[in-house]
Structure 1
Amino acid sequence: MSDVLIRVEGRVGRITLNRPARLNALTLEMVEHIRVALDAWETDSGVEFVLIDGAGERGLCAGGDIREVYEATLAADFGANESFFRNEYQLNARIAEYPKPYVALMEGIVMGGGIGLSAHGSHRIVTERSRVAMPETGIGFFPDIGATWLLSRAPREICMHIALTGDAIGAADALLCGLADVYVPSVRLPALLEALLNCGAVGLEDCIQAHSEAPPPGVLEAGRGWIEACYAGASVEAIVAALATREEPPARKAAATVALRSPSSLKITLQALRTAPARGGLRACLDREFGMALVRTSGHDFVEGVRAAIVDKDRKPHWVPAHLEEMSDGEVAQFFANAALKPSLWLDEGSA
C-alpha cells in the first residue's frame, strides 16, 4: 500500500499520510506524490479544496524521515539530502501559495516536516490531542520547513522558547503562535470530516466554524512574563542564565531542557529567528534554510544527534562543541556564510 493515499472524494482532494508505524514520517517519494496531486488539482474544476490528514491514531506526521537523511549522510550521498530538502521546502511554499483552500487536520503529533505540511495551509485545525513541536535542536539541527518565517510572526519571545527548547505545545498555544486557526474537539472530528466531504469551498468556513469552539487554556500565555523577560537575552548563554534564576518552575525546567540541546544548534537557531523578519518573506526564509540544512546535515552534531535520539536511542549525544561558550559569534557568522554559498532553493524554478 502507498505511503500516501491520494484520491478525490466529492469535491475534495484528499491526502492521507499512510505510514502509521513510522508516525507518518515524510519521505521524498511522499513529497513528490503530494506535489503531483496539488498540481493536478489546481486546474481541476471538480476539486474545490484540499484536505490532508494522517493515518493511525498517533498523529498527522512526526516530521521528515530523518533517519533516511542520516543514512545518506553516513554514505556521503549529499545529493540525496539535497534532493529531499529541495523538494520538501518547495512543497512548503507550494502549500502556502496554493490558490484553493488547503485544510489540515493537525490531530495528535505534528512535528517538524508535519508542521511544514500543515501550518502553511489556509485552514489549520487542532484538537485537544494536538502536540505541535519543532524539536530539531535536540538532534543537532534547527527549526526548518519555513519555521524561521512561521515563528518570526509569533509573539517574539514565545517563538524563541518553542524553538530553543523544542517542547511540544497544545491547541491553545498553537493558536496563540499562529500555527493553527481553529480548535475542534477530537470527538467532533468524524462529524467534521463527513461535513467537509459534503461541502464546497463556498461553505467551507461555515462548516469548520460549526464544529469549532474555544480551546482549553494553554500554558504559554500564562507564562508570558518570565518568557518575555528571559528570552529577550542577547545570547543563548544570557537566556539560559535568566531562565535558571527565575522562581517559576517552568522557567527552570526550560533552562534544564535547553542545556541538553546541541549548543551549536541553539546559537544557529537564535540567529536565524532574530534575522528572519528581514529576509523578505517565506520564500526567502526557505531559501536560507535550504543552505543551512545542506551545511548542517553534513556536520557532526546532526549525525550524533540522530544517532542518540533515533538510532541507538541512548539519549546521550556528545555535542561538538559541548558548551555554549565554546562557539563564538564568528563561528556562527561563518556557518551562515557557508550556507549562503550553497545553491538556491529556487534554481529549478527560475526565481530567486
Structure 2
Amino acid sequence: MEVSKISQILRNLEVYEKDPIVKLLILKGQGKTFCAGGDVVGMVLSINEGETFHFLSYIILIFFIILFLFIFFNNMGHWSFGASFYKKQLTLDYLLATSTKPLVSLINGIIMGGGAGLSMNSMFRVVTENTVFIYPLLIIL
C-alpha cells in the first residue's frame, strides 16, 4: 500500500465519519488480494537512493525500518519517507479502530502486513476460503 492510497483512505474516512447519512463502512480490496502490505521497496530505495543491495541487506533494512522508523538512518539517506509512511499508516489504524461507524472488512485472497493491520481494526471481518494472512515481519523477528 502506497502513501497516496493511505492518504486517500484517511481523507475518505474523515468525510464518512462526519456524514450522518453514512451508517456503515466497508473496506474491501480489488482483484485477488485484499492488500499486499506497505510500500517497503519504496522505503528501502528512498534510503539507499536506488543502490542495489543483497537480499539479506533488504531484510535487515526492513527490520530497522519497521521497528525504528528510520531513526538510525539519518546519515544514510532520506529517512522522512518511511517516517511519514508509518505515521500515516498508524494514524489510519487508530482511526479505523476508533471509528464511530461500524466497519466491516471483506477479505478475500492474500492479505499482507499493513493490510492485516487495517482489517484487524475492523469491528467485523469477513473472510473466505481463499483468504491467506501473511505477516512478513514475523519472519524477520
Structure 2 residue identity aligned to 1:90: T
User: Do structure 1's residue 93 and structure 2's residue 77 form an aligned pair?
Assistant: no
Question: Is 1:74–2:48 an aligned residue pair?
Answer: yes
Query: Pick from 45, 50, 54: which aligns with 2:20?
Result: 45
Q: Which amino acid aligns with 2:89?
A: E
Q: Which has the higher contact order (CA 8 A, sep 6+)?
A: 2
Cα deviation code 1:194-231 (max 9, x no counterpart): xxxxxxxxxxxxxxxxxxxxxxxxxxxxxxxxxxxxxx
Q: Which runs of 5+ in 1 are unaligned?
A: 1-25, 137-162, 167-264, 267-352
| CA–CA separation in structure 2 for the residues paired with 1:106 and 1:113 | 14
Q: Which residue of 2 aligns with 1:34?
A: 9
For 2:48 and 2:89, locate their aligned partners in 1 and report how far apart those are by CA, in whole Å: 21
Quote the Cα distance in structure 1 between the aligned partners of 2:84 and 2:99. 22
Q: TM-score, normalised by structure 1?
A: 0.32
Cα separation, 2, equivalents of 1:30 and 1:85? 13
* Counterpart selection for 2:36 from 62, 70, 79: 62
AA aligned opposite 1:40:
V
Indicate the structure with greater strand content.
Answer: 2
Deviation at 1:133, TM superposition (A): 1.6
Cα distance in 1 for partners of 2:26, 2:33 equals 15
1:165-180 map, 5 Å: 166=139
Aligned with 1:124: secondary structure? strand
Give the aligned partner of residue 131 of structure 2: 130
1:217-232 equivalences under 5 Å are none
Q: Hey, what's the Cα distance between the residues in 2 that align with 1:72 and 1:98?
A: 32
- Residue in 1 that maps onto 2:58: none
| Deviation per residue, 1:102-158 (Å, 9 max, x gap) | 11011100110111221111011111000012112xxxxxxxxxxxxxxxxxxxxxx
* In 2, Cα distance between equivalents of 1:33 and 1:46: 20
Please state how far the C-alpha of 1:46 moved relative to its aligned partner: 1.0
Task: Report the AA paired with residue 33 of structure 1.
Answer: Q
Displacement, 1:66? Answer: 1.1
Could you state the TM-score of these two structures normalised by the residue count of structure 2?
Answer: 0.77
Deviation at 1:91, TM superposition (A): 0.6
What residue identity is the alignment partner of 1:61? C
Matches within 5 A, 1:149-160: none
Letter in 1 for 2:29: G
User: How far apart are residue 35 of structure 1 and its match?
Assistant: 0.6
Counterpart secondary structure, 2:19: coil
Residue number in structure 2 paired with 1:228: none
1:302-341 aligned at under 5 Å gives the runs: none
Which residue does the alignment assign to 1:194? none
For 2:122 and 2:93, the matched residues in 1 are separated by 9
| Largest Rg, 1 or 2 | 1
List aligned pairs for 1:276-295, cutoff 5 A.
none
Letter of the aligned partner of 1:94 in structure 2? L
Q: Compute the displacement of 1:80 (Å).
A: 1.1
Secondary structure (helix, strand or coil) at the match of 2:105 reads: strand
Opposite residue 14 of structure 2, the aligned amino acid is: D
The letter of the residue matching 1:35 is L
Query: Matches of residues 257-276 of structure 1 in structure 2 within 5 Å?
Result: 265-266=140-141
Q: Which runs of 4+ in 1 moved over 6 A?
A: none
